[in-house]
Amino acid sequence: MRSLTTIILCLFSITALACKGTLLDHNFKKLASSEEVNLCEAYSGKVVLVVNTASKCGFTYQYEGLEKLNEEYGNEGLVVLGFPSNDFRGQEPGTEEEIQDFCRLTYGVKFPMFEKTTVKKNNAHPFYHGLADSAGGYPQWNFHKYLIGRDGELITDFSTRTKPYDDVIIGALEKALQENI
């Protein structure tokens, strides 16, 4: 019995060590799926760019740049995570299946997308509360970006108007990708 307890404690310790910090320690369902993912377990040790998205927004074209970033820097350890949100003027009104189809068919999105998520201050998902607490502010519109380092800590955030291939994002991404845990 003592051996079983030791094994269980070791397994919990390994999971806890793999997830440095608590920022990413949240569960989300994959978009249009019942499969649940713990962000920390899935993306620990990666550089993560978190983006609240919308399909009917003037900034929706950013999907293309986000997918390109994910493809170009993915082998170096970057992952872009999309969180559709209908918080800003109802610009993500569709079902999760409709959102998934739109993203894949219109912009070729392959980066992980998750369930519709509330990101505005009063009703934000706890993940977004944590991001906002670390960054000093909540998204003010769709396509706000949060950059999380390999250590699971927030590095910085970028406004909606900052395009995926803006020099400030590329510089921060490349610096984060060079850092080891």
Residue 138 lies in a domain: yes
The pLDDT, as a whole number, for residue 61 is 98
Residue 62 lies in a domain: yes
C-alpha closest to that of 41 among 79, 13, 23, 15: 15
| Residue 61 token pair | 């074209």
Other C-beta atoms closer than 10 Å to the C-beta of 87 total 23
C-alpha closest to that of 50 among 158, 134, 140: 158
Residue 98 lies in a domain: yes
The pLDDT tens digits of the residues spanning 65-101 come to 999 999 999 999 999 999 999 999 999 999 999 999 9
The pLDDT, as a whole number, for residue 20 is 72
The pLDDT tens digits of the residues spanning 1-54 come to 555 444 444 444 444 445 777 899 999 999 999 999 999 999 999 999 999 999
How many domains does the chain divide into?
A: 1
Query: CA-CA-CA-CA torsion for 165, 77, 129, 92, nearest 10 degrees?
Result: 50
d(CA 47, CA 27): 18
Active-site residue, 40 included: no
Residue 2 lies in a domain: no
Residue 6 lies in a domain: no
Residue 127 lies in a domain: yes
**Residue 103, pLDDT above cutoff 60:** yes
The pLDDT tens digits of the residues spanning 55-64 come to 999 999 999 9
pTM: 0.90
Which domain range does residue 126 map to? 20-178
Residue 80 lies in a domain: yes
Residue 10 lies in a domain: no
Pick the catalytic residue from 19, 40, 57, 103: 57
CATH number reported for the structural domain that contains residue 141 in this entry: 3.40.30.10
